[in-house]
Structure 1
Amino acid sequence: MLAKPRPLDRIGNVDDGIAAKAAGLDALYGHLKPIEIIERSARELFLDEIAAVSSFGADSAVLLHMIAKIDRTLPVIFLDTGKHFEETLGYRDALAADFGLTNIRVIKPEEAALERIDPTGNLHQSNTDACCDVRKVEPLARGVAPFRAWLTGRKRFQAATRAALPVFEAVGPRIRINPLAHWTTSDQADYMRAHALRENPLVAYGYLSIGCFPCTQPVQPGEDARSGRWAGHAKTECGIHLSGLEKSLTDASL
C-alpha cells in the first residue's frame, strides 16, 4: 500500500517553477520501486494527464510490462520516423498484444516538413541533427503536448551521458519520469527472465540500443549500450532527451 501522496501543486510554491516541482517529486518519490513510481504517477500525481513514450527498442519491454500492470489504457506514444527497422515495427505490435496495451499512439513527422527539409529522405547522411529534429523532436513535442508528464525507460547504465539521470526531471513546462533510472543491466535482465518477456529480435544480433536503421549498428564488446548509435559521430542522443525538445515544448506553451 502506497502512503498518502502530497498533491503536486503543494510541492514547493507555484512560483518555484516546474524544475523545483520535479526536484521535489524526485526527493519524495525517487527512491520508490519502479512500479510504485509508475503507479504513483499514473493514479495520483498526474491522473489522465500522463503518457509513456516508447521506442519499442532493446530495453522497452520492462517499462511497458509494468505500465500494463497499472493501466493498459495509458497512452503509449511511438514515434514512427519512417526509418525504423521492420523488426522494431513488428516488435511494437507484438508487445502491445502481449501486454494488452490498448492506446498506442503512433506519431509521424509532418509531411510538409519532410518535403521541405528532407525531400530525398537522405538528410541523415549530411545532417543527423536536422534529421532527428524533423523526424523525432518536433513529432514528440506534438505527441506529449496534451500531457503534463510522460514516462520513459531511460536508465543510467545506458550511456555516460545518462550517468546522473534523475527519476523526475523538468522538460520545459512538463515533467519527464524515468522510473528505471537506477536499474542495472542485471536488474533489466532478471526482470526480463522472470516475466519471460520477448526481446526485440535485433538484440540477438548485437543491437543493444535501437533507433532508425541508417544510424544504428551493433555494439562491440566492452562498449556501452548506445555506442552503436551514430557511430563515428560525436552525437550520442537524438534530441528528444536534450534541449531541443524543451525549447519546442516551451515555445508551444507561450
Structure 2
Amino acid sequence: MDCTSPSFDPTAGDLPAEADARVETVRNDLRREPAGDDIAALARRLEGAGPLEVMAQAVAAHRGRIAAVSSFGTESVVLLHMLAQVDPSVPVLFLDTGHLFTETLDYRDALIARLGLTDVRTFRPDEALRAARDPDNDLWASDTDACCDLRKVEPLGRALAPFDAWINGRKRYQAATRAAIPFVEQDDGRVKYNPLAALGPEEIAAWMTAHDLPQHPLQHFGFSSIGCMPCTSRAKPGEDARAGRWRGQAKTECGIHVRKDSPTM
C-alpha cells in the first residue's frame, strides 16, 4: 500500500501560493447542504493536495462551524501542529474517557501550551449513563463495544452537536480497515476531513523532526497507538500500528469512525 502524499513537504510552514485559489473553490462547493456525490467529487479533487492545504480548505469552507477531534495520542501532534498553523482558535474536541493513561493527559496539557491552541474542549461520559451502565467502571472487561459507546461515541455526539464539519487524524497506513479512507467524506450528516490520510509513518516522523515536535511519552516504551489504558498494548514487529488496541478481539475501531452515510469512494 502506497501511503505517500505527492504534495507533502515536512518543512512547510505556509500554504503554496496556488493553494489559496483552490480554497474559494472548495468553499463554493460546500455552501449548500452537501450531497454524497458532491463529497465524492471533492474527495477526488483533494487527492493531489497536501495535508496542510486540505486542512486550510476545510477551515475556510466551514469557518466557525468546524472542529478538530483529537485523542492527543502518538501522532496527534502533527494534526494539531498543522491546525495551529492554519488557525489555533479552531475548537479541538478531546474525549476524556476516564480510563486514559496519565501520560496522555499530561501530553495534552503540554501540547496545548506548546502549540498555542486556544479552544480545547474536554468531554466526559454522561455521569447518569455511566452510573447506570458501568457503575463499577469495569465494563471494558466484559463488553468493549458498550464501553466505547458509553465513553467515546456518546460524548463525541454531544461534542459535535454545534458543528457541521470536523477534522480528524486517521491515516491509511494505520490498519487495513483504514486503507481506503478519502480526504473528505460525509458521516452522519456532517462533512469529515482526513487531511493526513495519505501520510505514512516516515512522513509523520519527518514532520515531527522538521518542526521539533515532542512524542507522546509512551512511544518511548514501544506503544504505536494509544487509547484507553485497559485496552491498549504494544504492537508487535510487523503488525499494523493499531494492532495493540483491543488485543485478542476482532474489534479494530472504537465506533466514532463507523461511517453512517458516507458515499462509496
* Shared fold (TM-score, shorter chain, > 0.5): yes
1:50 aligns with 2:66: yes
Give the 5 Å matches for 1:5-44: 5-6=24-25, 8=27, 10=29, 18-43=35-60
Question: Which of the residues 89, 94, 111 maps onto 1:73?
Answer: 89
CA contact (8 A) 1:57 1:211 kept: yes
Q: CA RMSD in A?
A: 1.7
2:148 corresponds to which residue? 132
- Separation in 2, partners of 1:169, 1:190: 27
Q: Is there any run of 5+ residues in structure 1 with no aligned partner, and where?
A: 248-254
2:125 corresponds to which residue? 109
- Separation in 1, partners of 2:116, 2:164: 24
Aligned-pair CA distance for 1:219: 1.2
CA contact (8 A) 1:12 1:20 kept: no
CA contact (8 A) 1:30 1:37 kept: no
CA contact (8 A) 1:60 1:153 kept: yes
Q: Is there any run of 5+ residues in structure 2 with no aligned partner, and where?
A: 1-16
- Separation in 2, partners of 1:6, 1:65: 25
- Separation in 1, partners of 2:67, 2:254: 20
Aligned residues: 242
- Separation in 2, partners of 1:114, 1:7: 41
- Separation in 2, partners of 1:109, 1:78: 12
- Separation in 2, partners of 1:135, 1:11: 32
- Separation in 2, partners of 1:13, 1:58: 36
Per-residue CA distance 1:77-126 (angstroms, 9 max, x = gap): 00000000000000000001000001000011100000111111000000
1:87 aligns with 2:95: no
- The one-letter amino acid of 1:208's match is S
CA contact (8 A) 1:18 1:175 kept: no
Aligned-pair CA distance for 1:185: 1.0
- Separation in 1, partners of 2:131, 2:240: 35
Cα separation, partners in 2 of 1:11 and 1:84, compared to 1, 3 Å:
closer
- Regions of 4+ moved over 4 Å: 7-14
Question: Which of the residues 174, 180, 186 maps onto 1:158?
Answer: 174
- Separation in 1, partners of 2:198, 2:74: 17
TM-score by length of 1: 0.91
- The one-letter amino acid of 2:55's match is I
Per-residue CA distance 1:185-241 (angstroms, 9 max, x = gap): 111111111111001000111110000000001111111100000000000000001
1:3 corresponds to which residue? 21
Question: Which of the residues 87, 96, 111 maps onto 2:112?
Answer: 96
